Each structure stands twice: as structure tokens, then as C-alpha cells.
A and B are shown apart, each in its own frame.
Chain A
């Protein structure tokens, strides 16, 4: 279980997160929705220690981790994997080496075990034929999927997805959403998914949190949110209703 308690983070004089508290239950899929620039990425990065909060606490199981040293965070990052908003692939390495990167450093595997794990991970995102390409030879969507594979290869118990489907085509979007759903079903993986996409959220989330201007404006199960009185939530829902009425499979542009 993960719990944020009154978490605040500012950059200079700009407060990005303002005393945010919520919890993530083991095995659930939690969607975090919010407009651009409300600090969704900052929130995820605080959980894995890439940014540090100004105040507040972050509990993972029974540990308060926000004051951990860089060394102590290594074990947290073994449990919690993060897929970044950008593909963030290492340009000088092939797709295979990108996916193998963490495995080589964090797990002692024999060469054929290693390549088995890499191929398995690439298969999850349907990219196993591309293992010898370099990132600049791939499309943006492919790069993003490689980056998902790179995180999955380490089999983390908790997965953080920062807009995993932004910029992907509808078919791939569905694949990725199904993947998140399956991981939760089969491996009891906890997922925190940052997204703009209310439709995906309603489809696969157990719970949804809506962030605005550093605050949580509403949270609950998809069904609860559909009854929300909050203006921003209604705004998000309106888009879903519109798109599903006009053209059921047409995706919003990123």
C-alpha cells in the first residue's frame, strides 16, 4: 500500500502540489487525471525519489520514504517501476540493450535468461521483431512501447505510467490499456496511471483521482465520478460522452 500525506512541492515560489493526501491500494489501478501542468508528473517523480517533496510524507507499506537517501531509494525503485511521459530511451543502445539495461545492473541473469526476459517483455508490447533497431529508427509510438517494455522487464510490484497512451494510435492505446489491466489481474500489480483520457480511466480504473492546481478536486470509482458535481470532472466527462456519441473509436489528438 502506498499513502501520500499532505505532500507539498514547490519550484521557487510556484507551488505545484499543495498538501495532497491519498492512498493507493495494493493491486488496484488508480488513474490520476488533470489538465496539463497541474503537477501529475511531479507527483509520480516524488514517489520514486526523482524529486523530493518540500513537506509531507510518502508511505510505502510501513516505511516513510520521502527522507530516504539515494541509496535507500534503490530498493524502492526495484519495487516501483516508472514509465516516463517521454520514451527516454538511451540513443546509443539498441532496443534489446535498452530493455536489458536494468536487468544487467539489477539482476544477475545468465545470458539466455536475460534475452528470454527481454524478448518476453518486448512481446508484451508486440515489438519483439524490432530488438536490433536503434531508438531513432523507431516511430514515437514504438519508442514509447519499448520504454514500457524496459520498465516491465524488471517485474516491479508497482507500476507508474506517466501518460502511457498519449500520442499512440487507437489500436495501440487499447493494447496498452489491456496490458495494464492484465498485469493487475494476473500479477496483482498495482498501477498508478497519469492520463488525460477519461475514457480509458472509466474503462479500466478501479479508482480515479482528479487533480487541479495542486489540489485533489474529486476522487472515487468511475461510477462515483460520473455523478460528480465538480466542474472540471464534468468537463472531462463531457468529452467522453461527446466522443462516444459522435464516433465511438475516434481518439482525441494528443
Chain B
């Protein structure tokens, strides 16, 4: 009379997420196009993500720019005898890798950790259950606004980071290597163009997409008490960071077909 269940029955409840990442991904896409879309929450999250992380990211990319210029100049002088290629080389490195990856990794540790801890806490304090009892789908309510906000923030912050990084590189090149603004820009233009900035923004958006997904995945899986929230947060930052490096590799190899 009673039916023996299969693994599939377990998945009936979309929020018993302990199963797999793919189901969260699918649900998120579904919820992305299912009303209600919480626009104001999305804007709030965007403000939080972009505004809160911008300062840290800017500082980090400034230093990255300095190191890039000084290091590449040192080595180029050593190997080919002059440093005329430094601006172009640095610009490529910044636009194709540094700007997006540094932004992504910092977003993962700041924003990703926040999302994972928040959802994990909601899970263990039964707030997720309460949402469901009150007719709210947690993915729609929590994940989707963060996802949208993070995609836009990822792209925009990446563009800003790239511009600031390039500007710092120019200033450093001026001070230490004597490249004037015009000389620097001419050298940059021989290697890089606007497309590089655009592709970098695509990378940033992709990173912005995976960070909330990975973080919510870990958040929803949290079971125990405060200690587990901590572990969940750590795991989610590690996983997002690995995902970012991996996606960076995939996108870079894809984009290299385009250049």
C-alpha cells in the first residue's frame, strides 16, 4: 500500500538542497524569469555589493598595477635591453587578467562570504522554513536579487577596477620609467583596444554570477550551529575562488580565439 520512494522523491522539495549544485542552478534560472522580481531588493544588494567592495578593490588593483609596471620593466630591461614594451604588456595583463580576477576574488571573499553566512544563519534559525510556510520561494526571494545585483556589480566594478589600474600603471610608468601620458597611451594602443575592456567586463559579470550561486549553495546546505556557519562561509569562499580561477581559464581560452 505504501510506496517505496526513490532518490527523485527527495528532490521534490526544491529546498532540500543538500543534493546538488545543478538543481540550484536550474531553479535559479527558473526563478529569474518568474515573478515577483524584487527590484528594490536587487538595487539594495547592488549598492551593497558595489559600494562596499569598491574601495578595497581599488586599493588592491592600484598595488597590482605598481607591481606589474615595476616588475615587467625590470625583467624586460634584463632580457631585451629596453622597456619600450612595458605599457603595452602591462595593459594587456591588466585588461585580460588582473582587473577581472582581482575583482572577482575580492568579491568572492567579501560578498560571497556575506551571502553564505546570511543564508546559513537563516537556514539554521529556521527562517528559510518560515519563508516557505508564508508562501515565499527562498530562491526567488533571496538568491535571485543577489544574483542579478552581483552580475551587474561584477561587470561595472571590473570596468572601474581596470580603468583605475591602467591609470595607476600610467602614473607609475611616468614617475619611475619616464613614460609621458601620450607615450604610454600610444604604446598601450598597439596591444590593447576597447574590446579587451568589454571582454574583461564579461569576465567580471561571469564571476558575479557564480559567486552568489556557490555561496547560496553552501548556505542552504548548512545544518548545524554557529560553528557550521563559520565552516560554511569558509568553504564557500574557497569554492567560489576556485570557480573564479577555473572560469577565468575557460573564458581566457575562449576569448583568445577572438583576439
Contact = CB atoms under 8 A, between A and B. Distances in A.
B13 interface: yes
B127 A88 contact: yes
Contacts of B3: 55, 57, 67
A88 B136 CA distance: 14
Contacts of A105: 134-136
B14 A45 contact: no
Contact of A52 (B2, B12, B130, B137): B12
Interface in A97-111: 101-102, 105-106
B186 interface: no
Contact of B10 (A6, A48, A52, A90): A52
B180 interface: no
B125 to A, nearest CB: 5
B142 to A, nearest CB: 11
B9 A52 contact: yes
Interface size of A as a range: 35 or more
Chain B interface, >50% SS class? loop
B133 interface: yes
Contact of A88 (B1, B9, B14, B129): B129
A128 B137 CA distance: 29
Contact of A67 (B4, B12, B135): B12
Interface stretch (A77-85, A180-188, A207-215): A77-85
Chain B contact patch, size range: 20 to 34
Contacts, number: 79
Contacts of B137: 70
Contacts of A5: 1-2
Interface in B100-147: 125-127, 129-130, 132-137
B5 interface: yes
A49 B130 contact: no
10 contacts: A51-B16, A57-B1, A57-B2, A70-B13, A70-B14, A77-B133, A85-B126, A88-B129, A89-B127, A105-B134
Given A45-B129, A81-B133, A88-B126, 18 more contacts: A50-B15, A50-B133, A51-B16, A52-B12, A52-B16, A54-B5, A55-B5, A56-B2, A67-B3, A70-B15, A84-B130, A85-B126, A88-B129, A89-B130, A105-B134, A150-B134, A151-B133, A154-B134
The 9 closest A-B pairs by CB, nearest first: A102-B134, A88-B126, A88-B130, A84-B126, A105-B135, A106-B135, A86-B126, A88-B127, A50-B129
